[in-house]
Structure 1
Amino acid sequence: MKKRLLFLLLMLVGWLGAAHHAQAQYNNWSVGFRIGEPSGVNVRKYFGENHAFDLNIGTYGGLYGNNRAYRSGRYKSVGLAVQGHFLWHTSFGSSQTFRGYYGFGGQIGSRRYYPDRLAYVNEFESTISLGGSGVAGLEIFPASKPYSFFLETGLYVEVLPAPFFLNLQSGLGLRYNF
């Protein structure tokens, strides 16, 4: 409920702060949502000719299953993640409608971990995870529209507490550009 309220509030602020005749642009701020791994609020700041910073705040563990092997035990829930990437992007062809991007960054997460040593009592430990991630995607800017669509995929490599734990991350979403 709180996440939906925050999302609606961000969308309202973006709509009120933007000109209603805005062109789709890639050199401003954009706010939207991402469905995937992680799912949640997405904020992107475009700067320079071909750079951006992308921030995702939301849940992870739901897309690829919330009951998965992890370290000496299992994840059995959906967790919270904050993910940031520095991006390079470029247009395909002379049109600015299709833009490809790739980038690198990191992720911090919090999730319930059920170690095997506590399986007989079904107890869990709250874990904080930290790792690096890479992403590549395609963003579509419809002509004369203030929004864009995106589709992306990437890989998360955990550093702490489970070095080299790999997780495929992909998603699609919609952003309002202002």
Structure 2
Amino acid sequence: MKKKLLFTLLLSALGILPSMAQYNNWAVGFQLVEPSGLNVRKYFGDNKALDISAGTYGLFYGRDRKYRKGTYQNAGFSVRAAYLWHRGLFKAEKLHVYYGFGGQINSRRYYFDPSNVPGVKVFTNNISLGGAGLAGTEYFVSNSPLSLFLEGGLYIELIPDIFYLHPQASIGVRFNF
């Protein structure tokens, strides 16, 4: 029995067996833009998921951005976790929409106002915490363990700069198993 189950799972993972929308499982993938990096998703229940992204923050449209009394002039590292609700749009359930909320932690270099020290770039490493909301669509490729997604959202910082806003949008691919 275990060998048969293992064989079926292996064939499904390789895309040999036909598959419908693959949720209620794990998915691992890569996303580009904001944030860029690794994405892991765990589907559970009929319409819920936990989404975790780890990668760069501020690389595409957050560099040289005013922040507190200075600027961010580089990309940093970010980890975001969000609780999602999703549902299929059509009977085939190949296309899903989702939305959710969660938290995010970021690490970036914060450069102080250069007018205080002309010609010298003074910075400190900055850790920030805040909330994140996101919404998107996910397309499950027929007869394949792959899904493609496009999402957008907003990061709202709470510590250290309350209500600092940073838009986020990503496009990516996930391997569902």
Q: Aligned in 2, Cα 1:54/1:125: closer, same or farther, shift over 3 Å?
A: same
Structure 1: runs of 5 or more not aligned:
1-15
- 1:163 positional shift: 0.1
State percent identity of aligned pairs. 52
CA contact 2:101–2:133 (8 Å) conserved in 1: yes
Structure 2: runs of 5 or more not aligned:
1-9
Q: Give the RMSD, CA atoms, in angstroms.
A: 1.8
- 1:17 positional shift: 10
Q: TM (normalized to structure 1)?
A: 0.87
Aligned pairs for 1:87-166 within 5 A: 87-116=84-113, 119-120=117-118, 121-166=120-165
Please identify, of 62-71 and 16-25, the stretch whose mean Cα deviation from structure 2 is larger: 16-25
Letter in 2 for 1:172: I
- 1:63 positional shift: 1.3
How many residues are matched? 164
Deviations 1:109-163 (A, max 9, x none): 0000001165432110100000001000000001111100000000100000000
Structure showing greater radius of gyration is: 2
Which residue is 1:7 aligned to?
none
Q: TM (normalized to structure 2)?
A: 0.88
Q: Aligned in 2, Cα 1:113/1:50: closer, same or farther, shift over 3 Å?
A: same
Letter in 1 for 2:61: Y
Which residue is 1:175 aligned to?
174
Letter in 2 for 1:54: D
- 1:94 positional shift: 1.1
Q: Distance in 1 between matches of 2:56 and 2:144?
A: 29
Q: Distance in 2 between matches of 1:73 and 1:17?
A: 54
Which residue is 2:63 aligned to?
66
